[in-house]
Chains A and B, each alone.
Chain A
């Protein structure tokens, strides 16, 4: 990578310093950059470790996991069948709460994707080299999360076979989508996001696909990896163009991190509904998305590094950094909650005030307090380094945040709608079995895609990780002191 400039600065190594243990890179010594790859790795072992995951015989555990996610996926498909044959009445959506689970799930899944784009685009521009070990599967997660997200509004249109009407396609009926509606902006925002994320992910993968092509033993693999590596030879001209393209895509993807969830927040905030209409929604939703997304990355990274033997690449330092981002974005989300509550009082408008009293004291208070506990309280553990570097604690917090961010959307959607301006139209929202099965089933879709990715595509960006190892920037005088790359 061209921007790994900090590597040019070789740090002075004083004699007799405390040499860091081979697996302890979470300790921060301001005079040195901690290694980003631990263990005794060189270019060959990095390639072997990562490609072996794809080229070895499929392990039995993978089949078991794949079977389970396929069952969930089947459940999802069954729900879709029910929905299409019987109509949206199979959902719990009712008159005041016309947006029930589908929109909650949509926002939840779109949010999950944001961590991937943040890691690949924004951390890249910020020269955060530790991103190299986690960017590939975080980006994969982004794309699969967007797939899950897209399913819900597409099905919510009522006649999903006509969902293409969402696009402004000239037709003989002179029917056009409503350009003033933020829902339509969503169509464009999410599609742009999916396209750019996919391109970014794919372009970043080309050198690694070529590595797989060269190492693959079976004919089908050779053909497919060969096809998708686009004739990559690793010549310096290829690298030059590749790096330029990568930088440009990063610059293009950066505003997308902000824009997509901002547009999602517009779905709510452009309305006149108290609890939805508030100006802080765009940045607040973006922070929430990154928050939930990183929790999902941690949820996936912790078992993945264990099962796939990637502990040398996804080190404790990587996990700790992600936990710090979870804390930071969690604090932004808490800030937004507090500001909303304060402003509801400050506005002096009693509808505003009613909504914000109805959340903690109304019939959905259990959902509200679940949200507060998961999103505000649980991440506070990450103020302590012990918690940030403890696997059980980080899994607990990450699971809390996963739950909490789903409930946040549920609270926003439901509590604002179920008691609107006219008490005679008040009603409770109760999800149906199909609602719940569909949400769980969407995880089937997600994990099916994710398992396929783990099996067939390089999980770690080999070429990029090699770039942050000291061998890539060899200073021939004192290499032995450096175990890995720098951050």
Chain B
């Protein structure tokens, strides 16, 4: 249509009462907070696990803030693709949060460095495989090695046969299939009898042992993990990993920047074509988003345990992204309203109510995905995948309980049942204080969720303390500084969006 449509109604003027963030004030403490990473590193370095502990804490914090950025990007895409009007007044905040992507790219550098230096202390596949990957022919020899090294394995004969037939696995010899499958399960299984389940601290001490390989006793036999890691070397290798992350960030930064830039451009021009452009871009953006987020999740979190796999895993992290973005939007919008930076009629109770509904929706969605993943693996009970849950104590075999069990059980309630009931009422979603309470609650437990996904790969005992908190503060400082800086460049509410009047007039019921 023509430029004439950009004529604003008198109502649209209301939006421009929305102020700008005054960046400087908030930026300085945020940048200062980055300093918290220093004591985190020192504290970790003097602890049992050394810098490995710091890296795990760092990956949790990175996954946490990345989930907010990714959620924000997806939120923006969805608003455009659905031609939503209700969310117009909140959209700029999401655009700004998505624009923290370059900061997240910088924050990724320590992880890239860790992988590049090839310690294998965090990502076992990153250890230089020349020494460990058993060549096909050597597996028999390795079998004896394994049986000797691991007393539990000596108790049953299956592992030996297991490795024997593992040599044949790649030939796809049909007649050996059944035998090989039985062997698969036997070889991956953690030591079955109860007395061999290792929970106590003494066994957890050697976090990095066995030729520099990280190893959690009693959960997956490190030899098996090596075999499976070697099979994936075409995907799980250092150069390809780095290359993938370059692509992910190129996609994410490109998309976030485009959406932000075009939206900001509309503030001055009011060009309706920009809305149409973003509407056309968003489906493509979602396709790119889906692919990159899935593989990024596999890379960042799933490959911490390289033998393990779950097809739903990308969706699981995506559910967390959506949960966190709605929680963050609620908190940020409420903060800006309270400070008078956003007019209380511009983002009204009605808009917050809708954010609350989505928050509630994604609590259920997260639970649905988490349940699907857990229930299916638990029900089929194939050792090749259950070991991952055993490491988290998420099992119904009481002998396999470990210190993570309490977290696994708590998550059922704290990530689902309690907020599900808490957020159900319309009244709660329309009351600022209660809505913010649940947003904070869910962010905390989103962190717990990530901690539960990542930390058990380092230790069977619960590891949480100052290192994790300081890392969160440090990376949080970086994230907030980035967001505040971008946010202070332009008005924090879109100015001449063609659907602004509709958004301002929006009411539930």
Is A223 on the interface with B (CB-CB < 8 A)? no
Q: How large is the interface on B (under 10, 10 to 19, 20 to 34, 35 or more residues)?
A: 35 or more
- The stretch that binds A, out of B1-9, B98-106, B212-220, B470-478, is B1-9
Most buried by B among A33, A346, A347, A354: A346
Per a CB cutoff under 8 Å, which of B9, B314, B509 touches A3? B509
Is B164 on the interface with A (CB-CB < 8 A)? no
How far, in whole Å, are A352 and B498 apart by their CA atoms in the complex? 51
- The stretch that binds A, out of B127-135, B177-185, B243-251, B252-260, is B177-185
Q: How far is the CB of A289 from chain B (nearest CB, A)?
A: 15
Q: How far is the CB of A352 from chain B (nearest CB, A)?
A: 9
- The stretch that binds A, out of B53-61, B368-376, B434-442, B448-456, is B368-376
Which chain A residue lies CB-closest to B313? A279
Are A350 and B506 within 8 A (Cβ)? Answer: no
How far, in whole Å, are A45 and B310 apart by their CA atoms in the complex? 55
Per a CB cutoff under 8 Å, which of B172, B228, B310, B375 touches A354? B172
Are B231 and A277 within 8 A (Cβ)? Answer: no
Q: How far is the CB of B266 from chain A (nearest CB, A)?
A: 10
Are B177 and A421 within 8 A (Cβ)? Answer: yes
Q: How far is the CB of B286 from chain A (nearest CB, A)?
A: 8
How far, in whole Å, are A12 and B290 apart by their CA atoms in the complex? 37
- The stretch that binds A, out of B141-149, B193-201, B379-387, is B379-387
Is A170 on the interface with B (CB-CB < 8 A)? no
Are B505 and A8 within 8 A (Cβ)? Answer: yes
Most buried by B among A2, A14, A348: A348
CB neighbours (8 Å) of B275 from chain A are 30
Cβ < 8 Å to A, chain B residues 492-509:
498-499, 501-509
Which chain A residue lies CB-closest to B85? A6
How far, in whole Å, are A219 and B180 apart by their CA atoms in the complex? 74
Most buried by A among B175, B276, B311, B507: B311
Are A270 and B379 within 8 A (Cβ)? Answer: yes
Are A423 and B228 within 8 A (Cβ)? Answer: no
Are A258 and B177 within 8 A (Cβ)? Answer: no
Is A167 on the interface with B (CB-CB < 8 A)? no
Are A279 and B509 within 8 A (Cβ)? Answer: no
Is A416 on the interface with B (CB-CB < 8 A)? no
Are A349 and B184 within 8 A (Cβ)? Answer: yes
Cβ < 8 Å to B, chain A residues 30-86:
30-31, 33
CB neighbours (8 Å) of B417 from chain A are none
CB neighbours (8 Å) of A30 from chain B are 83, 272, 275-276, 279, 498-499
Are A423 and B177 within 8 A (Cβ)? Answer: yes
Per a CB cutoff under 8 Å, which of B1, B9, B364 touches A18? B1
Q: How far is the CB of B313 from chain A (nearest CB, A)?
A: 8
CB neighbours (8 Å) of A354 from chain B are 172, 177
Is B232 on the interface with A (CB-CB < 8 A)? yes
Q: How far is the CB of B86 from chain A (nearest CB, A)?
A: 8
Cβ < 8 Å to B, chain A residues 306-363:
327-328, 331, 335-336, 339-340, 343, 346-351, 354
Are B83 and A28 within 8 A (Cβ)? Answer: yes
CB neighbours (8 Å) of B1 from chain A are 17-18, 29, 31
CB neighbours (8 Å) of A350 from chain B are 169-170, 172, 177, 180
B309-332 to A contact mask, C-beta < 8 Å, 1/0: 111111100000000000000000
CB neighbours (8 Å) of A328 from chain B are 283
Most buried by B among A31, A280, A354: A31
Are A262 and B364 within 8 A (Cβ)? Answer: no
Is A135 on the interface with B (CB-CB < 8 A)? no
Are A12 and B312 within 8 A (Cβ)? Answer: no
Are B502 and A346 within 8 A (Cβ)? Answer: no
CB neighbours (8 Å) of A235 from chain B are none
Is A459 on the interface with B (CB-CB < 8 A)? no
Is A5 on the interface with B (CB-CB < 8 A)? yes
Q: How far is the CB of A361 from chain B (nearest CB, A)?
A: 12
Which chain B residue lies CB-closest to A258? B368
Is B18 on the interface with A (CB-CB < 8 A)? no
How far, in whole Å, are A422 and B172 apart by their CA atoms in the complex? 13
B1-38 to A contact mask, C-beta < 8 Å, 1/0: 11011011100000000000000000000000000000
Q: How far is the CB of A147 from chain B (nearest CB, A)?
A: 27
A273-286 to B contact mask, C-beta < 8 Å, 1/0: 00001111111000
8 A-B residue pairs with Cβ-Cβ distance under 8 Å, sorted by A, are A5-B507, A8-B506, A14-B7, A30-B275, A272-B382, A350-B170, A351-B177, A423-B174
16 extra interchain contacts, Cβ-Cβ under 8 A, other than A30-B83, A277-B382? A6-B86, A8-B506, A9-B503, A14-B4, A28-B276, A31-B1, A31-B499, A126-B82, A270-B379, A279-B310, A279-B312, A280-B311, A281-B372, A346-B298, A348-B307, A350-B172
The 8 closest A-B pairs by CB, nearest first: A280-B311, A9-B505, A348-B231, A279-B312, A9-B502, A12-B9, A30-B498, A282-B372
